[in-house]
Structure 1
Amino acid sequence: MGLTQILFWLLSALAVASALMVITRKNPVHSVLYLVVTFFAISGHYILLNAQFLAVVNIIVYAGAIMVLFLFVVMLMNLNANSEPQKNKLLQFAGVISGGSLFLVLIAALIKSKEVSSAVEMQTGNYGLVKNLGQVLFKDYVLPFEISSVLFLSAMIGAVVISKKEH
């Protein structure tokens, strides 16, 4: 049993254990902190797969920025079950439409990934290089990339508005 295999099993056990702690903890702040541990374990798996770029992006984006936003929102929310507002039917409908759209995007990505995975398995092509990722991102997907940046900007503005106390 080599060092890589031992690291794989340790990281896997850590990821599964911390993911279970995320869903079993009653305190939402503790759940978010266990989620950070899960992200670090997943980044360790990326490093074992020789995907250092994904590992660094996972740590910076998810364990860093997104988790800070989660903690910020959790700490701002009043988590009393008694004062929880009733869900609006329009909001539920929007959630169903959003979830369905995400499902369609995932299916399209899985269908396209079959040709990519066969090229990676045969070790042909330049898949996985940062240069190719940047070219595809800024040539083929520049509009969705910019839309996501506007979405992040609106989320930050929303967080500032929510945190502002009314006088």
Structure 2
Amino acid sequence: MGTTQLLFWFLSILAILGAILVVTSKNPVHSVLWLIVVFVAISGHYILLDAQFLAIVNLIVYAGAIMVLFLFVFMLMNLNADTEPQKNRWLKIAGVVTGGALLLVLVAALKKADLKAQMAEMGKGDIGLIHNLGLVLFKDYVVPFEISSVLFLSAMVGVVVIGKKAEEDKTTLGSQKYGG
């Protein structure tokens, strides 16, 4: 067994174990931390497939920004076992039936898939390299790329203008209220 296969199996087991722990963890913060482990394992798979750009974007966007947002929301929710509403028995039964139906659809879809004909090439080619992505982006799609950057810049300027206007309105209302 080569190093690539060993890494593949390690990352696969890590991703599956992390996904199971995401679902079974009682504490939502622990679920988020296990989800970060799953995202790191998936990024490892992207690296094995020579898709370094996807791996880095997955780590920065999902494991970084989205998980910080989830943790922030969980901390704001102030989840306590005492204040948690008790779920109805019919809701639990509906959840089991819905999950079973989803499992049935997934099994039927995988039954028709020909997995042996769809093997991924590992360590060959240069499709996912950042250099090639940059060449295509700045040769073929340079105009849409620049238009989107101007759009983002105008959106940021708009947010600053709206924020300043709201701040000035508060100041004006405050001075009128207190006779200023």
Residue 44 of structure 1 corresponds to which residue in structure 2? 44
Residue 4 of structure 1 corresponds to which residue in structure 2? 4
Structure ID, larger Rg: 2
Name the structure, 1 or 2, with higher relative contact order (CA <8 Å, separation 6+).
2
Give 1:6 deviation, angstroms: 0.5
* Count of aligned pairs: 109
Distance 1:137 1:13 in 2: 41
Give 1:82 deviation, angstroms: 3.0
Q: Extract unaligned runs of 5+ from structure 1.
A: 84-119, 155-167
Distance 1:48 1:74 in 2: 33
Matching residue's letter, 2:75: M
Residue 139 of structure 1 corresponds to which residue in structure 2? 144
Residue 81 of structure 1 corresponds to which residue in structure 2? 84
Residue 71 of structure 2 corresponds to which residue in structure 1? 71
Give 1:127 deviation, angstroms: 5.2
1:130 and 2:133 aligned: yes
Distance 2:14 2:51 in 1: 19
Residue 21 of structure 2 corresponds to which residue in structure 1? 21
Give 1:130 deviation, angstroms: 1.8
- Report matched runs for 1:53-72 at 5 Å: 53-72=53-72
RMSD: 3.4
* 1:59-87 residue CA offsets vs partner (Å, 9 max, x unmatched): 1111111111110001111333239xxxx
Give 1:48 deviation, angstroms: 0.3
Matching residue's letter, 2:24: T
Q: Is the 8 A contact 2:50 2:127 kept in 1?
A: no
Against the structure 1 CA distance between its residues 34 and 139, is the aligned structure 2 distance closer, same or farther, given a 3 Å change threshold?
Answer: same
| TM-score, normalised via structure 2 length | 0.51
Matching residue's letter, 1:6: L
Give 1:37 deviation, angstroms: 0.3
Residue 32 of structure 1 corresponds to which residue in structure 2? 32
Percentage of pairs with the same residue: 59
Against the structure 1 CA distance between its residues 74 and 137, is the aligned structure 2 distance closer, same or farther, given a 3 Å change threshold?
Answer: farther
Matching residue's letter, 2:144: K
